[in-house]
Homo-oligomer: A and B are copies of this chain.
Amino acid sequence: MITIQFTDALVRLAHLVQQVFGEVSREHDLTPQQAQLLCLLVDGPVGMSELTRTLNLEKSSLTGLVDRAEKRGLVVRTRDSHDRRACRIELTCDGARLGVLAHEEVARRMDALAGELPPEQRDLLASAIGGILARHAARGAATLSGQG
């Protein structure tokens, strides 16, 4: 097994994921960003502010992304009943269909790529990544509360 530098491995992996995501998006006539947005919304409507955090985007960038998705009939803006400034982004039927399709297809391909890994390595990989993500989340929270 070739041993590559740890960081390089992560960076290349990220690049690979981007690539798979891009291919799948294109096959469904979506931009990668739109596909990402749809995938994020399959579990239910989300507000703009939360989306900017999840997608790590400036709010004006998100406005544009949602505008274009709405124009294509993939999502709709619904007013939030508790806060009249806020809105919730919700999938249309079309959007939901595409979101699920794209998500499944990406999962299928990533699974195919990881298919050779023995199951226990696979689980370990998932949990190791879970640890990294958790650490990053904690780090982010600490930074926000002034410990950075």
Stretch in contact with the other chain, from A80-88, A93-101, A106-114: A106-114
**A residues 22-71 in Cβ contact with B at 8 Å:** 22, 56
Q: Is the CB of A114 within 8 A of B3?
A: no
Let me know if A72 is at the binding interface, CB within 8 A: no
Q: Which of B14, B123, B125, B126 contacts A17 (CB 8 A)?
A: B14
Contact in complex: B128, A125 (CB < 8 Å): yes
Q: Measured between C-beta atoms, what is the minimum distance from A139 to chain B in Å?
A: 7
Q: Which residue of B lies closest to A120 (CB)?
A: B124
B126 touches A124 (CB 8 A): no
Chain B residue with the shortest CB-CB distance to A129 = B9
Which residues from chain B contact A142 at a C-beta distance below 8 Å? none
Residues of chain B with a CB closer than 8 A to A3's CB = 123, 126-127, 130
Residues of A within 8 A of B (CB): 1-7, 9-19, 21-22, 56, 106-107, 110-111, 113-117, 121-136, 139
A-B contact pairs, 25 of them (CB 8 A): A2-B130, A3-B123, A4-B129, A6-B110, A7-B110, A9-B129, A11-B21, A12-B129, A12-B133, A13-B13, A13-B17, A13-B132, A13-B133, A14-B15, A14-B17, A15-B56, A16-B132, A16-B133, A16-B136, A18-B56, A19-B56, A121-B124, A124-B124, A125-B125, A125-B129
